[in-house]
Amino acid sequence: MTSFFRQYDSTPDKTPPLQLMNKTKPLGILLSPVTHTNLLQKILLCLLMLSFFPSITQAEDYIIGPGDVLKISVYDHGDLETTVRVTENGHIVMPLLGQVKVGGMKTSDVSDQISHLLADGYIINPQVNIFIKEFRSKKAVILGQINKPGIAELRGSTTFLELISQSGGLKETAGDAATIKRTQDGKQEVIVLSIKSIVEGGDLSQNILIRDGDTIYISKTGMCYVTGEVNKPDAYPSDKETTVLKLITLAGGFTGKASQSSVRIVRLVDNKKTVLKNVDLGTSVIANDIIVVPESFF
C-alpha cells in the first residue's frame, strides 16, 4: 500500500518564479501572518506568475482521447492538411493512410507515428505538425474545503492551482493538505500536496497537472478558540506551527487589562478537560485548544 502514496518534498524550488516571489516580500505578501485569506491571495499571486511562465503548466505532453479535435498539417503538402475528431475507439481518418490509432498517445508520439507511416512509400522526410483545436470534456471531482465543490471540467492542461481558482478558491477553514486520488494503470495512487509549500514556499513542482478522473480533497484546518482579554475573541485556524502568541496576534493582541503572564490553555486529553496554567507564549497549540487570557487585577 505504501508504494501508492507519494509525499512531495517541500524544499523550495530554486527557479526564476520563486526568485520573483521572494522579491514580493517588501510588499508584505509573504511576511504577513498565515491566515486563509492571505493564503488565497498568495494562490492568486501564483496564478498571475504562472501566466508569465506558461511552460510550467505544459510540463507534460497532452494525452489525446475520444472527442479531441486535431488539426494535422504536413509541411509543403497542403493537400494533406485535415481537421478530424477522434472517435470513441480512439481513431482518426488521415488522407493516404486511412484509419490511424491515436487514442491514449501523446501529441508528439502521434506526430512521430504519422510521419513514420507517411515516410513508408508516400513522402520523403515528412514533417507533421499536430495542433489540438478542441479539447474533449475531461472531468475531475473536487471536494472538501472549497467554495464550489463538485465536478469540474478540465479543458486542456489544468494545474492544481488553476483548479482551485476555477472552483471558487479555498474556504477560510481549509487546511494545508490536498489529497489527490487517481487511477493509473489499473492501480489507485494517492498523492498528497502541501498547499503551504506551493503558495508560501514557492515549490511549483507540486503544482501538478490534474488528470481526467482525479478526485481532489481539500482538508479542513484545525481550529482554536481565543477568549478573554483579547481584542477580537473568536475561533482561528491553527496548524502544527501555530503558537499561543500567533493566535493572540490573530485575535488582535492583548487588551490593556490582560494578564500576559497568566495565559491558560484548556485542552481535551483522552476526552478529559485539562488546564495548562501560566503557559509560555511560544507554546505550540493543537486543534480544539481554548486559549484563555485572564484579566489582570493589579
Q: Which three cell numbers stand for residue 38?
A: 492571505
Looking at residue 176, what is its pLDDT? 84
State the alpha helices, DSSP H only, in 51-129.
Answer: 54-57, 107-119
Contact between residue 237 and residue 217 where contact means Cβ atoms under 8 Å apart? no
Looking at residue 183, what is its pLDDT? 87
- Label residue 12 by pLDDT band (50, 70, 90): very low
* CATH code of the domain made up of 2-58+137-220: 3.10.560.10
What is the average per-residue pLDDT within 282-287?
93
State the alpha helices, DSSP H only, in the chain.
Answer: 16-22, 36-50, 54-57, 107-119, 160-166, 195-199, 244-250
DSSP-assigned beta bridge partners for residue 140: 152
Matching fold, domains 69-134 and 222-293: no
**CATH assignment of 222-293, among 1.20.1290.10, 3.30.70.100, 3.40.190.170, 3.10.560.10:** 3.10.560.10
Looking at residue 90, what is its pLDDT? 93
State the pTM of this model: 0.55
69 vs 136, more confident = 69
Looking at residue 259, what is its pLDDT? 94
Residue 6 has pLDDT above 90, yes or no: no
Looking at residue 279, what is its pLDDT? 95
DSSP-assigned beta bridge partners for residue 218: 144, 178
- Label residue 161 by pLDDT band (50, 70, 90): very high
Residue 27 has pLDDT above 90, yes or no: no
9 vs 283, more confident = 283
CA-CA-CA-CA torsion sign (43, 44, 48, 54): positive
Condensed to tens digits (0 to 9), the pLDDT of residues 167-218 reads 999 998 888 889 999 988 888 888 989 888 888 778 888 899 999 899 999 9
What is the average per-residue pLDDT within 154-171?
89
Q: What residue spans define the domains of the chain?
A: 2-58+137-220, 69-134, 222-293
In this structure, the strands spanning 290-293 and 264-269 are antiparallel
For the domain made up of 69-134, give the CATH fold: wza like fold (3.30.1950)
Residue 64 has pLDDT above 70, yes or no: yes
State how far the Cα of 197 lies from the Cα of 203, in Å rounded to an integer: 6
State how far the Cα of 234 lies from the Cα of 150, in Å rounded to an integer: 30
